[in-house]
Chain A
Amino acid sequence: MADSEGMAVRLQSLPQATQVGFRVTLASQMSAANALGIPALPGVNRFIGAGGLLVLWLGPDEWLLIAPDGMVEWESRLRNAIGADQGAVVDVSANRVGFELSGPAARDVLASCCALDLHPRAFGPGGCGQTLIAKAQVILAQTDLETYRILVRPSFANYVAAWLEDGVAGVQGHAKADL
């Protein structure tokens, strides 16, 4: 995927990563957090980044771990921590590919194709959500003030990238016109 260079916003594709989805009962959530080296699993619409890992809330008993590529051992590590009868752990690494959208106008680009309220009063760094970009389902996480990570199923990746690139062209055209 070509990067779009520019001052206001930049879109790039992220390297492949290990992804492990897990569902876990209340009783085993602390053990899962301990195994991941975080004080607790993130709450509703939040994610935690620590030690090269991202842990994202997906639903009331469901999270997604993103680890560097090749760290397949996370599946068994989590399964051992959670216990066989306290949840389910599945390696879903091929399920989604990632994009990063960054720059002062990143939020404007997303506003062109995503209905989630990303205003700082409602979202902000540490926020994540499953939602739609155009009509494709995505996991969206805001990693810092001006950076968003977008996880999308591979067959929709070109479609979502095209929408985002269109949005990038829009705000950059706008920025130029402002000068």
Chain B
Amino acid sequence: MLLIRCPWCGEREETEFRYGGQAHIATPRSDVDDASWARFLFHRDNPAGPFAERWVHIHGCRRWFHIVRDTLTHDITRSYLPSESPEDAG
């Protein structure tokens, strides 16, 4: 069970959240070629280590936010607003 810090509500159990996959993926223009569109739809980073990802506090404040979580240890080192970048978050 992960203990996740919602940037608004604070630390809550994982069951209050839903996972949204990799963060900071920009939607490409609709006229990109098929390869870029496939990359956008289907390819994610899967790093072994820190990973910036989206969660939504679905049973709490219902807001989307981002965390940086290590995929080897599950340690969560950052929790920040979607408007921030993983680097400048505290």
Residues of A within 8 A of B (CB): 44-45, 58-60, 62, 115-117, 129-132, 135, 137
A132 to B10, CA, bound (A): 15
Residues of B within 8 A of A (CB): 8-13, 15-16, 59-63
Contact B13 A130 (CB under 8 A): no
Contact B63 A131 (CB under 8 A): no
Contact A129 B13 (CB under 8 A): no
B13: A residues at CB distance < 8 A: 115, 132
In this complex, what residue of B is CB-closest to A138?
Answer: B59
Contact B60 A130 (CB under 8 A): yes
In this complex, what residue of A is CB-closest to B14?
Answer: A115
Contact B15 A132 (CB under 8 A): yes
Contact B12 A131 (CB under 8 A): yes
In this complex, what residue of B is CB-closest to A115?
Answer: B13
A45 to B60, CA, bound (A): 10
Q: Contacts A115-B13, A115-B15, A131-B16; is A44 near B8 (CB within 8 Å)? A: yes
A110 to B2, CA, bound (A): 21
A118 to B25, CA, bound (A): 37
